[in-house]
Structure 1
Amino acid sequence: MVLIESKIIGFDDFITWLPERSEYRYELRDGEILEMPKPKGKHSEIAGEISGKLYLEIKRLDLPYLIPRESIVKSIDGKSGYEPDVIVLDKEMLAQEPRWETESIITQGSSVKLAIEVVSTNWQDDYAVKQIAYQALGTQEYWIVDYLGLGGRNFIGYPKQPTISVYYLIDGEYDLHQFRGSDRIQSPTFPNLELSIDKLV
Protein backbone atom coordinates (compact mmCIF):
# COMPACT_ATOMS: atom_id res chain seq x y z
CA MET A 1 0.00 0.00 0.00
CA VAL A 2 1.49 3.30 -1.13
CA LEU A 3 0.24 6.82 -0.46
CA ILE A 4 -0.26 8.46 -3.87
CA GLU A 5 -1.48 11.92 -2.95
CA SER A 6 -0.95 13.53 0.44
CA LYS A 7 -3.29 16.40 -0.43
CA ILE A 8 -6.75 15.70 1.00
CA ILE A 9 -9.36 15.26 -1.72
CA GLY A 10 -13.09 14.55 -1.74
CA PHE A 11 -14.77 11.36 -2.90
CA ASP A 12 -16.01 12.87 -6.19
CA ASP A 13 -12.53 14.14 -7.03
CA PHE A 14 -11.17 10.67 -6.31
CA ILE A 15 -13.69 9.09 -8.71
CA THR A 16 -12.78 11.64 -11.40
CA TRP A 17 -9.05 10.94 -10.84
CA LEU A 18 -9.41 7.14 -10.86
CA PRO A 19 -7.64 5.64 -13.91
CA GLU A 20 -9.81 3.56 -16.27
CA ARG A 21 -7.09 0.92 -16.60
CA SER A 22 -4.25 0.31 -14.21
CA GLU A 23 -2.09 -2.48 -12.85
CA TYR A 24 -3.06 -1.24 -9.37
CA ARG A 25 -6.21 -0.80 -7.35
CA TYR A 26 -6.84 2.50 -5.62
CA GLU A 27 -8.80 3.34 -2.51
CA LEU A 28 -9.57 6.61 -0.83
CA ARG A 29 -8.80 6.61 2.91
CA ASP A 30 -9.81 9.70 4.90
CA GLY A 31 -9.26 11.87 1.83
CA GLU A 32 -5.91 10.34 0.80
CA ILE A 33 -5.44 8.16 -2.29
CA LEU A 34 -3.76 4.82 -1.62
CA GLU A 35 -2.28 2.58 -4.30
CA MET A 36 -2.78 -1.11 -3.62
CA PRO A 37 -1.50 -4.03 -5.66
CA LYS A 38 -4.20 -6.00 -7.45
CA PRO A 39 -4.76 -9.41 -5.88
CA LYS A 40 -2.38 -12.03 -7.24
CA GLY A 41 -1.69 -15.70 -6.70
CA LYS A 42 -3.39 -17.30 -3.72
CA HIS A 43 -5.18 -14.07 -2.73
CA SER A 44 -6.81 -13.87 -6.17
CA GLU A 45 -7.51 -17.62 -6.21
CA ILE A 46 -9.32 -17.49 -2.86
CA ALA A 47 -11.40 -14.44 -3.80
CA GLY A 48 -12.38 -16.18 -7.05
CA GLU A 49 -13.24 -19.45 -5.28
CA ILE A 50 -15.47 -17.67 -2.76
CA SER A 51 -17.12 -15.62 -5.49
CA GLY A 52 -17.84 -18.80 -7.46
CA LYS A 53 -19.37 -20.60 -4.48
CA LEU A 54 -21.57 -17.60 -3.67
CA TYR A 55 -22.66 -17.30 -7.31
CA LEU A 56 -23.72 -20.95 -7.38
CA GLU A 57 -25.67 -20.49 -4.16
CA ILE A 58 -27.40 -17.38 -5.54
CA LYS A 59 -28.41 -19.31 -8.68
CA ARG A 60 -29.45 -22.43 -6.76
CA LEU A 61 -31.79 -20.45 -4.53
CA ASP A 62 -32.81 -17.98 -7.27
CA LEU A 63 -31.91 -15.03 -5.05
CA PRO A 64 -32.19 -11.44 -6.35
CA TYR A 65 -28.47 -10.82 -5.79
CA LEU A 66 -25.50 -10.17 -8.04
CA ILE A 67 -21.71 -10.22 -7.72
CA PRO A 68 -20.24 -7.39 -9.78
CA ARG A 69 -16.75 -7.55 -11.21
CA GLU A 70 -15.93 -4.14 -9.74
CA SER A 71 -17.60 -1.60 -7.48
CA ILE A 72 -16.62 1.08 -5.01
CA VAL A 73 -18.31 1.45 -1.64
CA LYS A 74 -18.48 5.06 -0.43
CA SER A 75 -18.08 5.50 3.33
CA ILE A 76 -20.89 7.15 5.25
CA ASP A 77 -18.79 10.28 5.90
CA GLY A 78 -17.81 10.52 2.21
CA LYS A 79 -14.08 10.63 3.01
CA SER A 80 -13.27 7.07 1.96
CA GLY A 81 -14.00 4.63 -0.84
CA TYR A 82 -13.28 0.90 -0.76
CA GLU A 83 -13.21 -1.82 -3.41
CA PRO A 84 -13.94 -5.13 -1.64
CA ASP A 85 -12.37 -8.35 -2.92
CA VAL A 86 -15.91 -9.78 -3.26
CA ILE A 87 -19.24 -8.01 -2.87
CA VAL A 88 -22.79 -9.34 -3.11
CA LEU A 89 -25.40 -6.73 -3.96
CA ASP A 90 -29.19 -6.76 -3.68
CA LYS A 91 -30.57 -6.13 -7.19
CA GLU A 92 -33.81 -4.72 -5.80
CA MET A 93 -31.99 -2.08 -3.75
CA LEU A 94 -29.76 -0.96 -6.62
CA ALA A 95 -32.66 1.03 -8.10
CA GLN A 96 -32.20 3.41 -5.15
CA GLU A 97 -28.45 3.80 -5.73
CA PRO A 98 -28.03 7.09 -7.64
CA ARG A 99 -24.54 6.31 -8.93
CA TRP A 100 -24.70 2.59 -9.61
CA GLU A 101 -25.63 2.57 -13.31
CA THR A 102 -23.10 5.20 -14.37
CA GLU A 103 -20.20 4.67 -11.94
CA SER A 104 -20.65 1.32 -10.08
CA ILE A 105 -20.66 3.24 -6.77
CA ILE A 106 -22.53 1.99 -3.69
CA THR A 107 -23.62 4.65 -1.19
CA GLN A 108 -26.09 2.71 0.98
CA GLY A 109 -25.38 -0.22 3.24
CA SER A 110 -28.81 -1.70 2.47
CA SER A 111 -27.63 -2.44 -1.08
CA VAL A 112 -24.85 -4.72 0.21
CA LYS A 113 -25.80 -8.22 1.32
CA LEU A 114 -22.18 -9.21 1.92
CA ALA A 115 -18.75 -7.58 1.62
CA ILE A 116 -15.60 -9.72 1.79
CA GLU A 117 -11.97 -8.75 2.25
CA VAL A 118 -9.20 -11.32 1.75
CA VAL A 119 -6.34 -10.38 4.07
CA SER A 120 -2.94 -9.32 2.77
CA THR A 121 -0.01 -7.72 4.55
CA ASN A 122 -2.10 -4.63 5.40
CA TRP A 123 -4.36 -6.71 7.65
CA GLN A 124 -4.97 -3.78 10.03
CA ASP A 125 -7.10 -2.12 7.34
CA ASP A 126 -9.47 -5.09 7.07
CA TYR A 127 -9.83 -5.75 10.80
CA ALA A 128 -10.01 -2.16 12.04
CA VAL A 129 -10.58 0.52 9.41
CA LYS A 130 -12.88 -1.32 7.00
CA GLN A 131 -14.80 -3.21 9.65
CA ILE A 132 -15.72 0.09 11.31
CA ALA A 133 -16.58 1.69 7.95
CA TYR A 134 -18.82 -1.18 6.82
CA GLN A 135 -20.58 -1.25 10.18
CA ALA A 136 -21.19 2.53 10.09
CA LEU A 137 -22.62 2.26 6.57
CA GLY A 138 -25.01 -0.47 7.70
CA THR A 139 -23.54 -3.30 5.63
CA GLN A 140 -25.45 -6.36 6.83
CA GLU A 141 -22.63 -8.91 6.66
CA TYR A 142 -18.84 -8.58 6.39
CA TRP A 143 -16.22 -11.33 6.17
CA ILE A 144 -12.49 -11.17 6.70
CA VAL A 145 -10.80 -14.17 5.11
CA ASP A 146 -7.39 -14.40 6.79
CA TYR A 147 -6.01 -17.46 4.95
CA LEU A 148 -2.45 -16.96 6.25
CA GLY A 149 -3.36 -16.11 9.85
CA LEU A 150 -1.75 -12.66 9.58
CA GLY A 151 -4.11 -10.70 11.82
CA GLY A 152 -3.09 -9.53 15.25
CA ARG A 153 -3.74 -11.69 18.32
CA ASN A 154 -6.53 -9.34 19.40
CA PHE A 155 -8.34 -10.21 16.18
CA ILE A 156 -7.65 -13.93 15.59
CA GLY A 157 -6.31 -15.20 18.89
CA TYR A 158 -3.13 -17.10 19.70
CA PRO A 159 -1.61 -19.23 18.33
CA LYS A 160 -2.41 -17.51 15.05
CA GLN A 161 -4.05 -19.67 12.41
CA PRO A 162 -6.09 -19.22 9.23
CA THR A 163 -9.45 -17.76 10.23
CA ILE A 164 -12.65 -16.53 8.60
CA SER A 165 -14.26 -13.80 10.69
CA VAL A 166 -17.96 -13.24 9.99
CA TYR A 167 -19.45 -9.98 11.21
CA TYR A 168 -23.24 -9.64 11.11
CA LEU A 169 -25.17 -6.49 11.91
CA ILE A 170 -27.48 -6.69 14.94
CA ASP A 171 -29.07 -3.48 16.21
CA GLY A 172 -26.50 -1.36 14.38
CA GLU A 173 -23.41 -3.22 15.68
CA TYR A 174 -21.47 -6.16 14.34
CA ASP A 175 -21.69 -9.51 16.09
CA LEU A 176 -18.55 -11.58 15.44
CA HIS A 177 -18.20 -15.32 14.83
CA GLN A 178 -14.94 -16.97 13.77
CA PHE A 179 -14.30 -20.20 11.89
CA ARG A 180 -11.08 -22.19 11.65
CA GLY A 181 -9.94 -25.49 10.17
CA SER A 182 -12.87 -27.58 8.96
CA ASP A 183 -15.52 -25.46 10.74
CA ARG A 184 -18.32 -24.82 8.25
CA ILE A 185 -18.84 -21.08 8.04
CA GLN A 186 -22.16 -19.83 9.43
CA SER A 187 -23.42 -17.04 7.20
CA PRO A 188 -26.80 -15.46 7.98
CA THR A 189 -27.09 -14.36 4.32
CA PHE A 190 -26.16 -17.81 2.95
CA PRO A 191 -27.11 -20.27 5.74
CA ASN A 192 -26.62 -23.43 3.61
CA LEU A 193 -23.25 -22.45 2.17
CA GLU A 194 -20.66 -25.24 2.34
CA LEU A 195 -17.41 -23.40 2.98
CA SER A 196 -14.53 -23.76 5.42
CA ILE A 197 -11.08 -22.18 5.59
CA ASP A 198 -9.26 -25.50 5.17
CA LYS A 199 -10.91 -25.99 1.76
CA LEU A 200 -9.56 -22.62 0.61
CA VAL A 201 -5.90 -22.84 1.69
Structure 2
Amino acid sequence: MISIPDEKKIHSFEDWLTWDGTWELINGKAYNMSPAPTALHQYIVGELHFALRTFFQNRSCFVFVAPFDVFFSESDNYESPDHVIQPDLSVVCSKNQISKNGCHGAPTIIVEVLSPSTALKDFNEKFNLYQQYGVQEYWIVDPGNRTAHVYALQNGAYQVRSLYTEQETIHSTLTKELQVPMIKLFSME
Protein backbone atom coordinates (compact mmCIF):
# COMPACT_ATOMS: atom_id res chain seq x y z
CA MET A 1 0.00 0.00 0.00
CA ILE A 2 1.45 3.34 -1.08
CA SER A 3 1.05 6.24 1.33
CA ILE A 4 2.26 9.67 2.30
CA PRO A 5 3.95 9.93 5.71
CA ASP A 6 2.80 12.06 8.60
CA GLU A 7 5.77 14.44 8.96
CA LYS A 8 5.06 14.86 12.69
CA LYS A 9 5.38 11.14 13.55
CA ILE A 10 8.40 8.88 14.01
CA HIS A 11 8.77 6.36 11.18
CA SER A 12 10.75 3.23 10.36
CA PHE A 13 12.45 2.00 7.21
CA GLU A 14 9.48 -0.30 6.65
CA ASP A 15 7.26 2.79 6.61
CA TRP A 16 9.64 4.52 4.18
CA LEU A 17 9.28 1.62 1.74
CA THR A 18 5.55 2.35 1.40
CA TRP A 19 5.73 6.10 0.79
CA ASP A 20 4.71 7.66 -2.49
CA GLY A 21 7.12 10.23 -3.88
CA THR A 22 10.70 11.00 -2.89
CA TRP A 23 11.36 11.11 0.86
CA GLU A 24 14.33 11.03 3.19
CA LEU A 25 14.24 9.36 6.61
CA ILE A 26 16.47 10.95 9.27
CA ASN A 27 16.17 10.01 12.93
CA GLY A 28 12.71 8.58 12.22
CA LYS A 29 11.49 11.85 10.68
CA ALA A 30 10.16 12.07 7.13
CA TYR A 31 11.51 14.83 4.87
CA ASN A 32 9.80 15.48 1.54
CA MET A 33 12.23 16.00 -1.34
CA SER A 34 9.88 18.21 -3.36
CA PRO A 35 9.40 20.74 -4.84
CA ALA A 36 11.85 20.31 -7.69
CA PRO A 37 15.09 22.29 -7.36
CA THR A 38 15.67 25.57 -9.20
CA ALA A 39 17.53 25.82 -12.50
CA LEU A 40 20.54 27.37 -10.71
CA HIS A 41 20.58 24.51 -8.17
CA GLN A 42 20.58 21.94 -10.97
CA TYR A 43 23.24 23.84 -12.92
CA ILE A 44 25.55 23.88 -9.86
CA VAL A 45 24.93 20.16 -9.22
CA GLY A 46 25.74 19.48 -12.89
CA GLU A 47 28.98 21.48 -12.79
CA LEU A 48 30.07 19.78 -9.56
CA HIS A 49 29.17 16.35 -10.93
CA PHE A 50 31.28 17.01 -14.02
CA ALA A 51 34.24 18.24 -11.94
CA LEU A 52 34.06 15.36 -9.46
CA ARG A 53 33.47 12.72 -12.13
CA THR A 54 36.39 14.02 -14.18
CA PHE A 55 38.68 14.00 -11.14
CA PHE A 56 37.66 10.57 -9.77
CA GLN A 57 37.21 8.65 -13.04
CA ASN A 58 40.59 6.89 -12.82
CA ARG A 59 40.77 6.70 -9.03
CA SER A 60 38.38 3.81 -8.25
CA CYS A 61 35.70 6.14 -6.93
CA PHE A 62 32.17 6.52 -8.24
CA VAL A 63 30.19 9.77 -8.32
CA PHE A 64 26.40 9.60 -8.01
CA VAL A 65 23.86 12.38 -8.43
CA ALA A 66 20.42 12.47 -6.76
CA PRO A 67 18.11 10.70 -6.75
CA PHE A 68 20.48 8.13 -5.24
CA ASP A 69 19.72 6.58 -1.86
CA VAL A 70 22.38 6.42 0.86
CA PHE A 71 21.55 4.10 3.76
CA PHE A 72 22.98 4.50 7.27
CA SER A 73 22.51 1.79 9.88
CA GLU A 74 23.61 1.58 13.52
CA SER A 75 23.97 -2.20 13.29
CA ASP A 76 25.31 -2.56 9.72
CA ASN A 77 21.94 -4.15 8.90
CA TYR A 78 21.07 -2.64 5.56
CA GLU A 79 17.94 -4.76 5.23
CA SER A 80 16.37 -2.29 7.66
CA PRO A 81 18.56 0.83 7.89
CA ASP A 82 18.00 3.62 10.40
CA HIS A 83 18.33 6.51 7.93
CA VAL A 84 17.78 6.97 4.17
CA ILE A 85 19.04 10.14 2.53
CA GLN A 86 19.50 11.49 -0.98
CA PRO A 87 22.49 13.83 -1.13
CA ASP A 88 22.84 15.98 -4.22
CA LEU A 89 26.18 14.27 -4.92
CA SER A 90 27.87 11.23 -3.36
CA VAL A 91 31.44 10.10 -3.98
CA VAL A 92 31.77 6.42 -3.08
CA CYS A 93 35.31 5.03 -3.03
CA SER A 94 34.46 1.50 -1.91
CA LYS A 95 32.71 -0.54 -4.59
CA ASN A 96 31.55 -2.97 -1.87
CA GLN A 97 29.20 -0.27 -0.53
CA ILE A 98 27.30 0.03 -3.80
CA SER A 99 24.19 -2.07 -4.31
CA LYS A 100 21.41 -1.97 -6.88
CA ASN A 101 19.42 0.20 -4.41
CA GLY A 102 22.12 2.75 -3.54
CA CYS A 103 25.02 3.07 -1.11
CA HIS A 104 25.30 1.18 2.18
CA GLY A 105 27.22 3.30 4.67
CA ALA A 106 29.10 6.57 4.41
CA PRO A 107 30.25 7.84 1.03
CA THR A 108 33.74 9.36 1.12
CA ILE A 109 32.44 12.81 0.09
CA ILE A 110 28.92 14.20 0.15
CA VAL A 111 27.92 17.48 -1.51
CA GLU A 112 24.67 19.30 -0.77
CA VAL A 113 23.60 22.38 -2.74
CA LEU A 114 21.35 24.50 -0.55
CA SER A 115 17.86 25.55 -1.43
CA PRO A 116 15.66 27.66 0.86
CA SER A 117 13.60 24.60 1.81
CA THR A 118 16.63 22.40 2.70
CA ALA A 119 19.17 24.81 4.24
CA LEU A 120 18.35 24.12 7.90
CA LYS A 121 18.25 20.36 7.34
CA ASP A 122 21.58 20.40 5.45
CA PHE A 123 23.35 22.44 8.15
CA ASN A 124 21.80 20.59 11.11
CA GLU A 125 20.30 17.11 10.71
CA LYS A 126 22.43 16.08 7.75
CA PHE A 127 25.59 17.66 9.17
CA ASN A 128 25.18 15.66 12.39
CA LEU A 129 24.22 12.47 10.54
CA TYR A 130 27.19 12.66 8.15
CA GLN A 131 29.55 13.34 11.04
CA GLN A 132 28.12 10.47 13.12
CA TYR A 133 28.40 7.93 10.29
CA GLY A 134 31.86 8.97 9.14
CA VAL A 135 31.47 10.90 5.87
CA GLN A 136 35.09 12.03 5.45
CA GLU A 137 34.29 15.31 3.73
CA TYR A 138 31.04 17.27 3.54
CA TRP A 139 30.59 20.18 1.13
CA ILE A 140 27.68 22.60 1.46
CA VAL A 141 27.34 24.93 -1.52
CA ASP A 142 25.19 27.98 -0.86
CA PRO A 143 23.96 29.61 -4.10
CA GLY A 144 22.27 32.47 -2.24
CA ASN A 145 25.52 33.63 -0.64
CA ARG A 146 27.77 32.26 -3.39
CA THR A 147 29.85 30.35 -0.88
CA ALA A 148 30.93 26.79 -0.17
CA HIS A 149 31.61 25.26 3.22
CA VAL A 150 33.93 22.25 3.30
CA TYR A 151 34.03 20.16 6.47
CA ALA A 152 36.63 17.45 7.06
CA LEU A 153 36.33 14.67 9.59
CA GLN A 154 39.13 14.32 12.14
CA ASN A 155 38.89 12.02 15.16
CA GLY A 156 35.18 11.42 14.50
CA ALA A 157 34.14 15.08 14.28
CA TYR A 158 34.11 17.81 11.64
CA GLN A 159 37.01 19.84 13.00
CA VAL A 160 38.29 21.43 9.82
CA ARG A 161 36.01 24.00 8.24
CA SER A 162 36.93 25.98 5.17
CA LEU A 163 34.74 28.69 3.70
CA TYR A 164 35.19 29.56 0.03
CA THR A 165 33.74 32.64 -1.64
CA GLU A 166 32.78 33.23 -5.25
CA GLN A 167 36.26 34.25 -6.45
CA GLU A 168 38.07 31.36 -4.73
CA THR A 169 38.70 27.72 -5.56
CA ILE A 170 37.33 24.88 -3.44
CA HIS A 171 40.13 22.62 -2.20
CA SER A 172 39.42 19.14 -0.91
CA THR A 173 41.12 18.32 2.38
CA LEU A 174 41.19 14.61 1.47
CA THR A 175 43.04 14.98 -1.77
CA LYS A 176 44.79 18.26 -2.46
CA GLU A 177 44.64 17.76 -6.23
CA LEU A 178 40.83 18.06 -6.16
CA GLN A 179 40.06 21.71 -6.81
CA VAL A 180 36.88 23.32 -8.15
CA PRO A 181 36.82 27.04 -9.08
CA MET A 182 33.73 28.59 -7.51
CA ILE A 183 33.26 30.95 -10.45
CA LYS A 184 32.35 27.95 -12.66
CA LEU A 185 29.44 27.13 -10.38
CA PHE A 186 27.81 30.51 -10.90
CA SER A 187 28.66 31.17 -14.55
CA MET A 188 25.04 30.60 -15.56
CA GLU A 189 23.97 33.93 -14.07
TM tier, shorter chain?
A: 0.7 to 0.9
In the alignment, the residues of structure 2 paired with residue 139 and residue 170 of structure 1 have an alpha-carbon distance, to the nearest angstrom, of 10
In the alignment, the residues of structure 1 paired with residue 153 and residue 50 of structure 2 have an alpha-carbon distance, to the nearest angstrom, of 24
The percent of aligned pairs where both chains have the same amino acid is 26
In the alignment, the residues of structure 2 paired with residue 50 and residue 124 of structure 1 have an alpha-carbon distance, to the nearest angstrom, of 21
* Aligned partner letter, 1:135: Q
> Does 2:75 align with 1:72?
no
In the alignment, the residues of structure 1 paired with residue 86 and residue 183 of structure 2 have an alpha-carbon distance, to the nearest angstrom, of 25
TM-score of the superposed pair, with normalisation by structure 1: 0.76
Q: For residues 92-171 of structure 1, what are the structure 2 equivalents within 5 Å?
A: 93-95=94-96, 97=97, 100-106=98-104, 108-109=105-106, 112-121=107-116, 122-149=118-145, 162-171=146-155
Q: For residues 37-52 of structure 1, what are the structure 2 equivalents within 5 Å?
A: 37=34, 38-52=36-50
> Does 2:162 align with 1:184?
no
Q: Which has the higher helix share?
A: 1
Partner of 2:29: 32
CA contact (8 A) 1:119 1:144 kept: yes
The alignment of Structure 1 onto Structure 2 pairs a total of residues equal to 172
CA contact (8 A) 2:49 2:89 kept: yes
> Does 2:12 align with 1:13?
no
In the alignment, the residues of structure 1 paired with residue 179 and residue 137 of structure 2 have an alpha-carbon distance, to the nearest angstrom, of 17
Partner of 1:159: none
Which blocks of at least 5 consecutive residues in structure 1 are unaligned?
150-161
Partner of 1:81: 84
Which blocks of at least 5 consecutive residues in structure 2 are unaligned?
75-80
Partner of 1:155: none
Match of 2:54 among 52, 56, 60: 56
Change (3 A) 1:68 1:195: closer
